[in-house]
């Protein structure tokens, strides 16, 4: 899955009726919900109705299919009164994922019913194979019978969260039950929320931090999307997509994280961003003494980055004007810096994470 321009690529989009149509939002959290409804289609219909006052960015149906209803840079109305760990009003900065699921079940005379069937005179019970028995994480929530999520839904939500984390700097994935305990109990114990967090946050947030240097490099590269990749072996980093092209720097160490920003027409090479370090002549750089994440910028049109400041040095990379970097060490005429540069690497040795 891939997010581009605040939309999930290739997913149907059905506009919700209620969302903030004027302000732009920068999402940094994901909130997981269940719909407490009978089907994904019914929820899509409900949110798109002219009378609807609630909404979510995504609805995940029983078969794992995903419908988007609000652009990801717009505030949807899914969280309501909410707070967690000192932050409140989660609608303002979170992406809401509604999973179609009837929610908690009521046990009557040994049979289990959805909340709407329980109200009817002639009730249809839930198949025993769909009943999940489990205590809720919030002590205040005493229900113990829940409707099972399908494997397709769990897989779809996991992949969707990973795609969202690649597109935005997501800090937390929470259940509605965690930001509104007592008032809300979704997604409930039938949903593997802790496993989802461990899976998604561990792979989506490698040691690499999306700092200013990377952001600038991504912007300069005109990449329309980027994916985090992990280098499987010690890998050559080249100027162009060819095994005979000049090396860009020393090989990239195995297990390093890089950003994939494109690929060549054969699909055999990835255009990547990689962090490198080396020595540069002092006269080409301008120090930045402000409080930013980098402390220098290349002011000349281009400059060479070397592995050493000694005469026997060899070229590590050529830097372009505007490249930002961190200064690691200073000598009289040369500075050792760390910068993010663009180059090419063989795709088969890189796994997307």
- Residue (125 or 187) nearer to Zn ion, CB: 187
CB 149 within 8 A of CB 189: no
H or E stretch including 261?
Answer: strand 257-263
The least CB distance from residue 122 to Zn ion, in Å, is: 29
The least CB distance from residue 232 to Zn ion, in Å, is: 40
What is the Cα–Cα distance from 197 to 158, expressed in whole angstroms? 9
- Residue (74 or 78) nearer to Zn ion, CB: 78
The least CB distance from residue 165 to Zn ion, in Å, is: 20
Enumerate the H helices of the chain as residue ranges: 40-48, 115-119, 151-167, 176-179, 193-204, 212-220
The least CB distance from residue 46 to Zn ion, in Å, is: 13
Query: DSSP class of residue 139?
Result: T
Query: DSSP class of residue 278?
Result: E
The least CB distance from residue 33 to Zn ion, in Å, is: 3
- Residue (43 or 317) nearer to Zn ion, CB: 43
- Residue (33 or 274) nearer to Zn ion, CB: 33
- Residue (35 or 323) nearer to Zn ion, CB: 35
- Residue (74 or 176) nearer to Zn ion, CB: 176
Query: DSSP class of residue 268?
Result: S
Q: How many CB atoms lie within 10 A of CB 159?
A: 14
Q: Which residues bind Zn ion (CB under 5 A)?
A: 33, 176, 186
Residues 6+ away with beta carbon under 8 Å from 344: 237, 238, 239, 240, 241, 242, 245, 248, 264, 269, 270, 271, 272
The torsion angles phi and psi of 14, rounded to 5 degrees, stand at -125, 115
Helices and strands (H, E) in the chain, number of each type:
6, 23
- Residue (55 or 277) nearer to Zn ion, CB: 55
What is the Cα–Cα distance from 314 to 128, expressed in whole angstroms? 70
By residue count, the chain amounts to 353
The least CB distance from residue 184 to Zn ion, in Å, is: 5
Q: Which two tokens stand for residue 110?
A: 């040994």
- Residue (33 or 162) nearer to Zn ion, CB: 33
The least CB distance from residue 152 to Zn ion, in Å, is: 20
- Residue (136 or 176) nearer to Zn ion, CB: 176
The least CB distance from residue 96 to Zn ion, in Å, is: 8
Residue 283: exposed, middle, or buried by beta-carbon count in 10 A (0-12, 13-18, 19+)?
Answer: exposed
Residues 6+ away with beta carbon under 8 Å from 275: 208, 213, 214, 338, 339, 340
Q: Which two tokens stand for residue 293?
A: 């994440």
The least CB distance from residue 40 to Zn ion, in Å, is: 15
């Amino acid at each position: 899955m891939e997010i581009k321009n605040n939309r999930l690529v290739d997913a149907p989009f059905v506009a919700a009726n209620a969302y903030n149509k004027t302000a732009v939002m920068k999402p940094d959290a994901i909130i997981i919900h269940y719909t407490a409804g009978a089907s994904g289609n019914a929820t899509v219909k409900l949110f798109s109705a002219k009378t609807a006052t609630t909404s979510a960015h995504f609805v995940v149906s029983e078969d794992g299919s995903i419908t988007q209803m609000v652009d990801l840079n717009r505030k949807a109305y899914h969280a309501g009164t909410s707070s967690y760990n000192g932050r409140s009003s989660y609608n303002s900065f979170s992406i809401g994922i509604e999973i179609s699921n009837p929610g908690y079940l009521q046990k009557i005379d040994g049979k289990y019913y959805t909340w709407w069937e329980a109200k009817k005179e002639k009730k249809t019970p839930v198949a025993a194979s769909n009943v999940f028995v489990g205590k809720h994480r919030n002590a205040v929530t005493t229900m113990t019978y829940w409707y099972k999520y399908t494997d397709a839904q769990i897989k779809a939500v996991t992949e969707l969260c990973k795609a969202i984390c690649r597109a935005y700097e997501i800090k937390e994935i929470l259940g509605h039950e965690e930001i509104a305990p007592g008032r809300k109990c979704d997604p409930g114990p039938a949903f593997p929320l802790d496993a989802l967090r461990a899976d998604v946050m561990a792979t989506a947030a490698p040691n690499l931090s999306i700092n200013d240097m990377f952001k600038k490099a991504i912007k300069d590269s005109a990449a329309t999307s980027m994916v985090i990749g992990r280098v499987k072996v010690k890998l050559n980093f080249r100027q162009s997509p060819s095994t005979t092209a000049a090396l860009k720097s020393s090989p990239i160490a195995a297990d390093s994280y890089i950003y994939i920003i494109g690929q060549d027409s054969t699909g055999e090479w990835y255009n990547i961003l990689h962090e490198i370090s080396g020595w540069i002549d002092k006269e080409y750089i301008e120090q930045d003494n402000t409080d930013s994440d980098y402390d220098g910028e290349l002011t000349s049109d281009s400059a060479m980055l070397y592995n050493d400041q000694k005469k026997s040095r060899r070229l590590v990379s050529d830097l372009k004007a505007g490249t930002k970097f961190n200064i690691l060490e200073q000598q009289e005429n040369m500075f050792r810096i760390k910068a993010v540069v663009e180059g090419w690497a063989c795709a088969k040795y890189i796994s997307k994470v």
